[in-house]
Amino acid sequence: MAHIPKLLSIAGSDPSGGAGVQADLKTFSAFGCYGMAAITALTAQNTRGVTASYPVALDIVAAQIDAVLSDISPDAIKIGMLATPDIARAVAETLARYKARNIVLDPVLVPTQGISLASAGLETALAAALLPLARLVTPNLYEASALTQTPLAKNADEMAAQARLLCDAGARAVLVKGGDLEGEPVDVLFEAGERRIFHGRRVQTRNTHGTGCALSSAIACELAKGAPLIDAIAAAKAWLEGALEAANQLRLSEGRGPPHHFYALWR
């Protein structure tokens, strides 16, 4: 029998299904993987924005992760919204005990619409506790700026400089996502002293809610299958472009809907 990759999402909940744990589980399924989840925060959000956020108690977050890892060994782990510095440290301590591998950290700090999803000091806790555990860190322009405490990058050179700073802080590899750049979107990967630029194609759609969650989860799926990092990123980006192109088919609301995670399966 073929091996079915197993992935764990550690993230917040989005009741509208476009981001967070719900988006991660959809992405895992779209890539033919078995998905599991440990919820770090409850949010009230939809396609129009985030209106409330409530962190889960530390012992419950750690217990969820422990329950999974003590029974099932994931091939990759995707970390999203952690909400507070204490949760970030608790997650790091639990993962380190199990020597978890193929960790993809998507440092959720500020949503495009609505209230903040991170309390004060989270950037410092992420850098100290989780960067050294991650196989890949995937900040967007705003998150890379916050994590490095440098101005917002305006081009690929500045993105690479921020990625290098995060690698110097302990990350093995960093992919700074440039979807918010003017003109052609580019993502910049920095690993082992080398940078690589991934050129993208801008898809004209308002339905971009949860794209960061989807991309990082897709990369984690490919890593779980044994793909090299560069190939995993390329495959994830190609899938996400297709999901964005098909997003209008969902016809959810007049807000910013999510990508169509199952565009290749729902015919």
Residue 27 CB neighbour total at 10 angstroms: 31
Give the residue numbers spanning the domain of 28. 6-250
The closest alpha carbon to 250, from 195, 205, 219, belongs to 205
The answer as to whether 259 is a domain residue is no
How many domains, the chain?
1
| Chain length of the chain | 267
- Scanning the chain, the segments in alpha helix (DSSP H) are 20-30, 58-69, 85-97, 122-125, 141-148, 156-168, 211-224, 229-245
71: exposed, middle or buried (Cβ count in 10 Å: 0-12, 13-18, 19+): exposed
Question: What pLDDT was estimated at residue 179?
Answer: 84
> Radius of gyration (Cα) for the chain, nearest Å?
17
The answer as to whether 255 is a domain residue is no
**What pTM value is reported for the model?**
0.95
What is the crossing angle of helices 58-69 and 85-97, to 10°? 20
**How far is the C-alpha of 175 from the C-alpha of 189, rounded, in Å?**
4
The answer as to whether 126 is a domain residue is yes
The answer as to whether 181 is a domain residue is yes
pLDDT (tens place) for every residue of the chain, 267 residues total = 789 999 999 999 999 999 999 999 999 999 999 999 999 999 999 999 889 999 999 999 999 999 999 999 999 999 999 999 999 999 999 999 999 999 999 998 865 554 566 677 899 999 999 999 999 999 999 999 999 999 999 999 999 999 999 999 999 999 999 988 877 889 999 999 999 999 988 888 889 899 999 999 999 999 999 999 999 999 999 999 999 999 999 998 888 999 999 999 987
The answer as to whether 258 is a domain residue is no
The answer as to whether 262 is a domain residue is no
List the catalytic residues: 177, 208, 210-213
The answer as to whether 12 is a domain residue is yes
CATH number, residue 14? 3.40.1190.20
The answer as to whether 256 is a domain residue is no
